[in-house]
Structure 1
């Protein structure tokens, strides 16, 4: 038995390290998203056309990957499982992305990333409310730290910008984080049934179709005004800040579960803040610094559960 345990332990450790590496890589790539979006907004693009072009570029990748993932499955998922994956995708990638893109018009990239990074607290609260998961004192204290930090960063945004716009943007980003939290909770079972590649392809494909319908209703099929910079930024957003990290995070959830995947993104807010200050010229004051420390400390404490 001891020999068996020694044999299994390295495999388990390697499996965990790979899952954490995938989650960290996804967090880094996702951290570039608000920077790219803010840059494209400065170039004159607006949320829905940007989301539409992003999905148009990403969907062929998901179709190809989904086709080969489907072919490799010995047992094909039924229509109920496919519909569930599509519904989860609508919640986690269509709705969450739409709310996030709208909210980024009104708040800084730093506040947006910290607010989205705090979604593990929502995962834990929702898990306690609907899945019977235990909510302990340490988790409560971690959430207090997290939201105290968010209030500080929110206060800085509020002091520097239009108060009404900041409040609206904050509510939109919080709604996006809630939507993505539900995606994290419900995706674990679906990923276990059909694998991370097929699940991600179906989920993102459904989000892409919904985005295309939304855009067509409001704008038809006419392209928004584009130039070389806008095309380059949209390609970066679609491939490196959407397609690649979406597969990475689904594979990470498969390997290490939603809780660990959710709290492995400490690098995300830090990288976003650095890029926002250097590339976008956003201010970085003591309120942002203190708020970031509190948020990162709070979410990191949840990892010890």
Structure 2
């Protein structure tokens, strides 16, 4: 029997398994927009929504943080302050702006805007870090933003505060892009699992603290449906995607895992139609195709 065949079969199975994990993580992470829309039907606001989300996800991230604290080297004072900054920018500010914006726009447009995060990383790198952007990268950016403009103009015809919602979600994507740039060097030294768990604990303190400053404690008493949806938001849409993405990166690499994440906007578009009754129009499909094409071109750039 050919040894190459015997070795290639397990390798292919491992690759397909990693790809499946990456796709599943992208779909689950995108579903948080659907869950947020369902929670808003119970007349809670973004401050309460994000506090419940972080409270339900905290036990898992806190357990991982304690474990990593025991087995890892002590953090320097500079690293501690960096983690605080990243937790506030990457998970607190980014999530808060995202959930605020979801009050005004469809989940399809929200997911497309957030999917532009790699382009914000590129633009920040070019403007702040003075890195060169190639012609191919400029074409990729232009293609993606044309897709967003298509969907935005379509949704704008429906009235409401679409411009405000889109601006808030764009701020969310920019905040998360800043977090990715700040975390690049620390991930190599501390590991993604340790860094994410620490940053999520910082974010939880900020989100829950904000809740008690801005809202009365009586707002913690909600219908059972709110607790159930918040549990889904915290575990299925936050904790599981984080770990699934990391496992996928270990198996198939960051490049393939990021390309598998392109399923996110598409899944949100159709889940929004299925669960929320949001229409799927040719404008949205066309805009989604342009955004995915732009991100794919960007991911292929060496």
Deviation at 1:42, TM superposition (A): 1.6
Matched, 1:34 2:33: yes
1:194-213 equivalent positions in 2, closer than 5 A: 194-213=190-209
Within the candidate set 90, 93, 97, 2:91 is matched to 93
The answer for the alignment partner of 1:153 in structure 2 is: 151
**What is the CA–CA distance in structure 2 between the aligned matches of 1:249 and 1:208, rounded to whole Å?**
21
CA contact (8 A) 2:47 2:211 kept: yes
1: CA distance between counterparts of 2:57 and 2:152?
32
Partner of residue 8, structure 2: none
- Higher mean C-alpha deviation, range 247-256 or range 102-111: 247-256
- Secondary structure in 2 matching 1:93: helix
Contact conserved, 2:270 with 2:280, CA < 8 A, in 1?
no
CA positional deviation for 1:13: 9.8
CA change 1:133–1:18 in 2 (3 A) is: farther
Note if 1:72 corresponds to 2:108: no
Alignment partner, residue 294 of structure 2:
298
Matches within 5 A, 1:46-195: 46-73=45-72, 75-162=73-160, 165-195=161-191
Once residues 277 and 29 of structure 2 are traced to their aligned partners in structure 1, the CA distance between those partners, rounded to angstroms, is 20
Residue 208 of structure 1 and its aligned partner are, at CA, apart by: 0.5
Moved more, 16-25 or 182-191: 16-25
Q: Provide the rounded CA distance (Å) in 2 between the counterparts of 1:82 and 1:249.
A: 24
Q: For residues 261 and 96 of structure 1, do their structure 2 counterparts lie closer, same or farther at Cα, with a shift above 3 Å needed?
A: farther
**Length-normalised TM-score, structure 2:** 0.88
Matches of 1:209 and 1:18, distance apart in 2:
35
Q: Is the 8 A contact 1:23 1:249 kept in 2?
A: yes
Deviations 1:26-84 (A, max 9, x none): 321111110010011123221111111111111121111111112222x3222221221
Unaligned ranges ≥5, structure 1: 1-11
In structure 2, how many angstroms separate the alpha carbons of the residues matched to 1:83 and 1:17?
39
2: CA distance, partners of 1:27 / 1:79: 34
Partners of 1:159 and 1:19 lie apart in 2 by 41
2:224 alignment partner, one of 228, 232, 246: 228
Query: What residue ranges of structure 2 are gaps of 5+ in the alignment?
Result: 1-10
8 A contact 1:77–1:194 mirrored in 2: no
Structure 1 match to 2:278: 282
Residues 111, 292 of structure 1: alpha-carbon distance in 2 compared, 3 angstrom cutoff: same
Question: Deviation digits for residues 265-296 of structure 1, max 9, x if unmatched?
Answer: 10100100010011111011111111111111
Provide the rounded CA distance (Å) in 1 between the counterparts of 2:187 and 2:193. 8
Root mean square deviation of aligned Cα: 2.6
Following superposition, the deviation at residue 255 of structure 1 comes to: 8.0
CA distance in 2 between counterparts of 1:136 and 1:154 reads 27
Does structure 2 conserve the Cα–Cα contact (< 8 Å) formed by 1:53 and 1:234?
yes
CA contact (8 A) 1:117 1:265 kept: no
